[in-house]
Structure 1
Amino acid sequence: MRVTIERSAFLKALTHVQSVVERRNTIPILSNVLLQAAQGQLKLTATDLDIEIVESVPAEVARSGAATVPAHMLYDIVRKLPDGAQLELDRAGDGQRVSIFSGRSRFSLQALPHEDFPDLAAGDFPHSFAISAADLKGLIDKTRFAISTEETRYYLNGIYLHDVVAAGTLRVVATDGHRLAQAEIPRPEGANGMPGVIVPRKTVLEVVKLFEGLEGAVDVSLSAAKIRFSAGDLVLTSKLIDGTFPDYERVIPRNNDKKLILETAGFAAAVDRVSTISLEKGRAVKLQIGGNKVVLAVNNPDSGSAEEELACSYDAAPIDIGFNARYLMDVAGQIKSETIEFSLADAGSPTIIRDPADGQALYVLMPMRV
């Protein structure tokens, strides 16, 4: 293999693929990036056996071939080269080393056999559809904060992507048992009949990073065990979580008839202020709702108490209810409108929170005892 490539294009691709490579690996080849040169393209592949990222970049290929070299070390070398530099990659005859030439710089990296590099993308992906990058990012951004980090309930460690047949929508749901986030868009052509799948948290975060700022569509293909996102020369393939997502619709209340409307930014700032003295573990904020005001109260036996009063729109019976402060701020951060709407039942029942201007998203919070 012998190839010449422009530094900025190579660095951009390396930045994308090396992000999935773990710093410590018990399997040496997983620390490497696979380089494949052919027909005016250099294809880079990296994987952790759960996620694989592939990107192709234009290059001058003097001799086709393949090699694997340490991903993070190669990234650091290319990153430290000057802007506008040209790199030449040359795999020696014995295949055990790859030489890198750029200006007066010379590097030689230990290589491992490219035949041993795993292929995660193999297999059929019977279901496929296209979704705009903006819609994909929107679905993820509105729900990812509610993904559980509790490893024992592994089936909650991702977002549930599924086709809602009756509504004609593609829906994403995430929950950690204390809160739930749901977002949907009109079902893209080709998504009907797809299986419901749980996309892992790490994959979700990589998708957001990879397709940040992308204009146009992302092609999504999936099987019962894997999902693939592709746009242009960039492809991410991931294993899915093998588990059953709970029947989340059972926890979404249907008869919450007490409507509370608050100014979004003022509410989020007030929660942030009064929670300053709350216990880090509980972070409970009590909402005393009645008339046209809400009193946010925190009482910490060890450090004191705090109260703040906010104007609101509310015409039902008075109610006192407590919520985790961080959860309230997470949800408020998703509300783009000037107002935030709560639908309440009583102090012990789940509460629905909505953005009045966004009918395709809703949030459910379980109350806390205060």
Structure 2
Amino acid sequence: MMGLLAAWATHRQSIPDQQTVIRWRAMMRFSCLQENLARGLSIVGRAVSSRMSLPILSNILVATDAGRLRLSATNLEIAITCWVGAKVEEEGAIAVPARTFADFIATLPAQTLEIEADESKQTLRIQCGRNRANLKGNPAEDFPARVQPTAEKAIELDAAILRDMIAQVAFAAAPDMERPILAGVLAEFTADEVGTTTLALVAADSFRLSVRTQKLDHDLSSPMQIIIPARSLNEVARLAAETEQPIQMYVLKDRSQVLFRVNDVELVSQLVEGLFPPYKQIIPQSYVTRTVIATKDLQAAVRRASVIARGANNIVRLQMFAEDASGPSHMTVSAVAAELGDNVDDIDALVEGQSMRIAFNARYLLDLLEVVRTDNILLETSSPSSPGVFRPQGPDAADFIHIVMPMYVAD
């Protein structure tokens, strides 16, 4: 045995080029375009974990799959898998540190890459033109297994509509996981008497509530409610921005997960366990004053007032004036801060009902106005201490409602 080892050592010393590829030791070999691999790494890289307690999660799994390259990353909350076109010569898999791999591939020119994995050394060898590199990796079997979609029929969602729905709702979810249910978005599937299926996305953070509904061309076997982390839906929206094809959604109830398929990308997210608050009870059913304002006018006025409001707990005051003998209806948007000064904007508005005043957090108003797609927005108010109800106004207005709790202002 020692003789064999000595002979192998002598053989290794006789090799003039230490970069020579020893083919029989490679467990995976493929070639692909640098730009395709870089894009795939960028997509899955958003799911890479920084948890030092589980070092394997800082890796990207590189594997061959039915003649293509499959890249996977997960932080145990979401997992993203992306398939990249490649010429596969030998099947295999290896886990590679994500940051090193992605950063290195990004520095290479837009050429064909020749890549192979060495099973004995857990090394990924990359050749691009006259550049050759060896990146240290980890055993593929240490990486979490990929979740497979069930045989159930997928729910198909229009990519542009889903992206818009997420944009109008996810921002209202709580920003931290201390309250996991409020950090999630309720996806509520219902069917009416004639069988029309409706999807409602709902988010709330105790200070505001956002509800967006959309009719679907999908037969629903039974009503369903799931809570998806808002961070996961934001990743879905990012993927949806790159396609015009329908997005397939699978609810994996037995695993408490949801899977979204977007072209050559799959995103799997854990679902949040628990019951979402009865949001319909929060939506006011009546109003005293209804005001219609140009969205851009209100947005500009609130943005100006928010500069002054920084010195006054971010409070912006809205005053609605009904038409009377002194002139037509209008609205003022103002802010006052003892150490900064004050600001008042007078803008056109159609006011129905009584004159009304109410104050809101400027950031909440700006978040809302950023996702309103119509030229006009409607505000319904009942009193200075009651929630304000905002809806888009116009023939193309989506079924979207946003509730904002008012802020107390001493007279």
- TM-score of the superposition, structure 2-length normalised? 0.85
In the alignment, structure 1 residue 348 sits paired with structure 2 residue 377: no
2:352 aligns with one of 315, 318, 330: 315
- C-alpha offsets along residues 121-176 of structure 1, whole Å, 9 cap, x if unaligned? 15747563111111211110111211111433221102111113348411101111
Alpha-carbon distance change, 170 to 70 in structure 1, aligned in 2, over 3 angstroms: same
Pairs aligned (count) = 369
- C-alpha offsets along residues 2-38 of structure 1, whole Å, 9 cap, x if unaligned? 1111111111111111111134532121111111124
1:365 aligns with one of 395, 399, 404: 404
**CA contact 2:160–2:240 (8 Å) conserved in 1:** no
Alpha-carbon distance change, 163 to 183 in structure 1, aligned in 2, over 3 angstroms: same
Counterpart residue number, 2:55: 28
Counterpart residue number, 2:265: 234
Distance (whole Å) between structure 2 residues aligned to residue 24 and residue 280 of structure 1: 38
Q: Gapped runs of 5+ residues in structure 1?
A: none
**CA contact 1:67–1:95 (8 Å) conserved in 2:** no
2:280 aligns with one of 249, 252, 261: 249
One-letter amino acid of the structure 2 residue matched with residue 339 of structure 1: N
Cα RMSD, aligned residues only: 1.9
- TM-score of the superposition, structure 1-length normalised? 0.94
Alpha-carbon distance change, 125 to 302 in structure 1, aligned in 2, over 3 angstroms: farther
**CA contact 1:33–1:44 (8 Å) conserved in 2:** yes
**CA contact 1:257–1:344 (8 Å) conserved in 2:** yes
| 2:104 partner SS | helix
Greater mean deviation of Cα atoms: 297-306 or 66-75: 297-306
C-alpha displacement at 1:240, in angstroms? 0.9
| 2:102 partner SS | helix
**CA contact 1:170–1:191 (8 Å) conserved in 2:** no
Alpha-carbon distance change, 149 to 305 in structure 1, aligned in 2, over 3 angstroms: same
Counterpart residue number, 2:217: 188
Counterpart residue number, 2:300: 269
**CA contact 2:149–2:259 (8 Å) conserved in 1:** no
Alpha-carbon distance change, 122 to 40 in structure 1, aligned in 2, over 3 angstroms: closer
Q: How does 1:89-238 map to 2 (within 5 A)?
A: 89-122=115-148, 124=150, 126=152, 128-166=154-192, 168-193=197-222, 195-224=224-253, 225-238=256-269
% identity of equivalent residues? 28
Counterpart residue number, 1:335: 372
C-alpha displacement at 1:272, in angstroms? 1.2
Alpha-carbon distance change, 38 to 350 in structure 1, aligned in 2, over 3 angstroms: closer
Alpha-carbon distance change, 148 to 105 in structure 1, aligned in 2, over 3 angstroms: same
C-alpha displacement at 1:45, in angstroms? 1.0
- C-alpha offsets along residues 292-329 of structure 1, whole Å, 9 cap, x if unaligned? 12122222122222222122111312211111111112
Larger Rg: 2
Q: How does 1:44-63 map to 2 (within 5 A)?
A: 44-63=71-90
